[in-house]
Amino acid sequence: MNSTFTKILRYLLGLGLLVFGLNKFIHFMPMPELPADASQFMSSLVATGYILPIVGALEVVIGLLLIFNKWVPFALLLLVPISINILLFHLFLDLSDIAGALLIAIINVVLIYKHWRIYRPLFI
């Protein structure tokens, strides 16, 4: 469970979540050009005033938990709905940039698999 491969994946995922989560607050990376439907959807999320800050805060917290190796199985479960929504957003609204979403989802699945013995009692 704490192999070098798992540590690299955990750090990579944690750093990515930390960077993109902080970007929702600090806006240090420019927003990429999105297709019309995706842009309209993102504008709707921004207009709510609370969705993106909550998702950003969750991404920062999950990223820090993964980086500092605290409550990793819990953090990975918290990330599941976020990674699914990132994947679905790109699948249906911005297919050209789906590579990053696939990477997040695949790393999340691999790390959940690596911690499966902890999740097993949930399915008995």
pTM: 0.92
Residue 11: what pLDDT? 97
* The token pair that represents 5 in the structure block: 């491969």
DSSP assignment of 60-90: HHHHHHHHTTSSHHHHHHHHHHHHHHHHHHH
Confidence category of residue 124, pLDDT binned at 50, 70, 90: confident
**Mean pLDDT to the nearest integer, 17-28:** 94
Q: Assess whether pLDDT exceeds 80 at residue 79.
A: yes
Q: Assess whether pLDDT exceeds 90 at residue 25.
A: yes
Residue at 116: amino acid letter: W
What is the percentage of the chain residues whose pLDDT exceeds 90?
90
Q: Assess whether pLDDT exceeds 60 at residue 1.
A: no
Chain segment 86-105, per-residue pLDDT in tens:
999 999 999 988 999 999 99
Q: Assess whether pLDDT exceeds 90 at residue 81.
A: yes
Cα dihedral: 51, 56, 62, 63 (round 10):
160
Chain segment 41-70, per-residue pLDDT in tens:
999 999 999 999 999 999 999 999 999 999
